[in-house]
Chain A
Amino acid sequence: MATDLVPGVAPDTPKTARPRAPRVARKNPARRLALLLRHRWLYLMLLPGVAYFLVFKYWPMYGLHIAFKDYIPFLGYSGSPWVGLKHFEELFTGGDFGRLMANTLILALLTIVFVFPAPIVVALLLNEVRVSVLKRSVQSLIYIPHFLSWTIVASLTYLLFSADFGVLAGFINDIVGGQRADYVAQEEWFRPLIILQLLWKQTGWGTIIYLAALASVDQQLYEAARVDGAGRWRQLWHITLPAIRPAIVVMAILTSGNIMDTGFEQIWLMTTSLNRPVSEVFDTYVYYIGITQGGFSYATAVGLFKGVVGVFLIVGSNWLAKRLGQRGLY
């Protein structure tokens, strides 16, 4: 089961082969400087990247402290009064929190159950297709939706599913009969529609990474397995799946960091007055409170909470992955 069966995805070179500075060097300042100088071009190349993160990712975080203030832009950061944890208290004790948490988690759970495995399944299926032209054309066709914006996807959904003129809604009605349902307005259809949209839009694109992993599997393994009498299923189970397991784990960890990220645009565009109780999630709530209603401090508090939870989730799942004997993200 070890991953070293698969050269392509196990790039770990033997430790002795990697050139390393002697351990004493780290302790000796002069040696350290020499080391720095020796790799000066590498460090120089590092600079723009570091600057980018400092300016665009870390400096803006300074603004997060308005979550602990009653921020009024005109008074500025220094002029706005500190209010401590008031906004967090309001968030946790207010009527919205439970609903937001539930909606966010349910959508995340549905995504993990239905959307996450979909590209794996499709990639495995495509991998079994032996006609190269067919394989490629199917692959191209299914990733095209990825390039459409959520606005277009949402408009299409409305066109297909609304009560008055929805083509698909009418079609379903003809088959099932009864009162014509307004799928885009009803609470109970919100989540299925979101998942369907995600599947339609993202599955094809997601297969790319798995197909890349699959492409690097050594064909000799399959030949050897066939000689040993393994059928298609055996080969899938014992060669293909282990081969892409690292890719799956990494993708899973990355996904776990985004559990609180339900994807703003999609949800926002699909939200109506009628489905708000199930559709409002942290992302849309932050936008609504912060930008639409101008509650900057409160929105920042919500966003900060969400971000902290996200960090915990990604660290936690990485730890879990390592615990289970997989190579984690870091």
Chain B
Amino acid sequence: MTGTINIDGQNIPFEEGQTIIEAATAAGVYIPHLCHQPGYTPHGSCKLCTVKVNGRNCSACTFPAADGQTVINNSAEQELDRRRITQMLFVEGNHFCPSCEKSGNCQLQGVAYHLNMLDNHYPHFFENREMDASHPDILIDHNRCIFCNLCVRASQQKDGKNVFGIAGRGINKRLIVNSPSGQLKDSDIDINDSAVHICPTGALLIKRTGYQVPIGQRIYDHKHISEVALAQENDNGQD
């Protein structure tokens, strides 16, 4: 079955089984997102892709497209909601962009730029979060984890492993490592695993590679995340 949905006045075709975000991406319409990546089971946790479908708020990454849907993606209300959500992500973790090696290549930052987020609005938590530097080549900086679950899914779905998990609830939520010691060095992760390369922020990094891309040549220095994401995700869809 195929059909048509309408996003912000534009008719967009979809195929059976597609979510709203998949149909939108294929048609070149960007819906902001962090926890969604083509090829991975939808997770619906970051809520950035919230759109109004026939008047109700839904996550575009989990909601199936259905013929005749009216979707509002870009409205002042939607933008404010998304900015507030992003601000919450910033104050909940410890995102010190000025010294972060992911700066310029970070999707969280890219989304914030896209949303014209100029401040953090909420009081900062300044939580004490740890770092796991035990692995010789891979680093986890929990300060920057936004619990998008992408490394968890990548490890399971692409790498055929089960290195990561999310434990706890609310403010006790944390990324955990499936190893006897709980440390990354004792897990079966490999530097070539998809899980190592999928982090949208600077939480999961390859060691000793930071700052090698000069300022001005980083992904989001000149290009909007909308442009970058649409190009990448449509490329990925084709292979």
A in complex with B: no
B residues near A, CB below 8 A?
none
